[in-house]
Amino acid sequence: MQKMDTIKWGFIGCGEVTEKKSGPAFSLIEGSEVVAVMSRDKDKARSYAKRNNIPHFYSDSISLINDPDVNAVYIATPPSSHATFALMAMRAGKPVYVEKPLTASYEDCLRINRVSEQTGVPCFVAYYRRYLPYFQKVKELVQNGEIGNVLSVQIRFAVPPRELDYNQKNLPWRLQPDIAGGGGYFYDLAPHQLDLLQDMFGTIVDAEGYGANMAGLYKVQDTFNACFRFHNGITGSGSWCFVAHDSARTDRIEIVGDKGMICFSVYDYTPVALHTLRGREELILPNPKHVQLPLIQSIVNHLRGGEPCLCDSVSATPTNWVMDRILGKF
């Protein structure tokens, strides 16, 4: 694909994630600007456009994709619609940046990869944690041998139910299988954890898991346990519970080596803890105000002819494969 001088973004979706995590970053980067936004609720699109000085707003995706001023598309909708919008945009010759997970199923990821290869139009995925100083430091510690040879990896995540989870008539979209991919909060929160580990240790080639609905607050599963193996032989495990008592609240990944251990969180950003013969050391690593900015900067550089951004749909697909294996989808 030819390099672009200025990346003129159109947003499909203008929900919570665009308010602080991503939206403002697009306009803070040289050679990048937001020119259009779309929401099925036209008033919401109008309001977002007015508040953020965006010239065009739409209530349908086709109009936004066909807008001649738009030359790249950011998809910030629930996972069930990611594939449809990504395929439409790529076939129109417009690069895509998709919120995670890439799609609601592994099979849809493969469809996106095929069309990206056929058209030569790139698709990037919002696994922005790869680019944050906090996680890059963890990766650096591993690669520098601070804990020796890595032996095992464990994910532990537990949170209490949210107030909205008790509302059977108006459940959050993440708990609606036809919108979120069928894995409830697991399909929304586990992707970042699994992607980070694969960025550090390579592709997971085997995964098995069990899910259960333990609390009965909603129809989808609320508790998961899994084991997995990376291509280099390292094994790991994970446990996720979204209906735990507050006393069990945990956001922790442990990387165990033969010379020490690294402990870090994925959502709480507690200080990275390095355990070695020197004792326990805490590393405080602040992240940028708009956490997606470093990744978006990399995407813009790529599209303008600079260094390739490797956070693309191909690299994101194994995470969907792992989640679908854990969920027993195949």
In this predicted structure, what is the pLDDT of residue 209?
97
Predicted confidence band of residue 268 (pLDDT cuts 50, 70, 90): very high
Q: Which SS3 state, helix, strand or coil, does residue 50 take?
A: helix
The CATH code for residues 133-286 is: 3.30.360.10
Radius of gyration of the chain (CA): 20
Residues in the chain: 330
- Cα gap 207→230, rounded to integer Å: 9
Contact, 255 vs 150, CB < 8 A?
yes
Task: Give the residue from 100, 226, 71, 92 showing the smallest Cα distance to 155.
Answer: 226
- Cα gap 275→273, rounded to integer Å: 6
pLDDT at 126 over 90: yes
In this predicted structure, what is the pLDDT of residue 169?
77
Query: Strands 32-38, 7-12: parallel, antiparallel or unpaired by DSSP?
Result: parallel
Which ranges in the chain are annotated with CATH 3.30.360.10?
A: 133-286
pLDDT at 138 over 80: yes
In this predicted structure, what is the pLDDT of residue 17?
83
Q: What is the DSSP string of 161-229?
A: PPGGGG-TTS--GGG-HHHH-SSHHHHHHHHHHHHHHHHHH--EEEEEEEEE--S-SSSS--EEEEEEE
Q: Which fold has domain 7-128+290-312?
A: Rossmann fold (3.40.50)
Mean pLDDT of the chain: 95
Distance of CA 94 to the CA centre of its chain: 21
pLDDT at 181 over 80: no
Mean pLDDT calculated for residue range 138-152:
98
The secondary structure element, H or E, covering residue 58 is: strand 56-58
Predicted confidence band of residue 291 (pLDDT cuts 50, 70, 90): very high
pLDDT tens digit sequence for 318-328: 999 999 999 99
Task: Give the residue from 7, 168, 143 showing the smallest Cα distance to 72.
Answer: 7
pLDDT at 191 over 90: yes
- More confident call, 181 vs 314: 314
pLDDT at 154 over 90: yes
Count CA atoms within 13 Å of residue 218 on its CB side. Answer: 27
For residue 204, give both structure tokens. Answer: 């997971």
pLDDT cut 70: percent of the chain above it = 100
Whether pTM exceeds 0.85: yes
For residue 63, give both structure tokens. Answer: 């109009």
Which ranges in the chain are annotated with CATH 3.40.50.720?
A: 7-128+290-312
pLDDT tens digit sequence for 53-83: 999 999 999 999 999 999 999 999 999 999 9
With helix as H, strand as E and coil as C, how does 102-142 read? CCCCHHHHHHHHHHHHHHCCCEEECCHHHHCHHHHHHHHHH
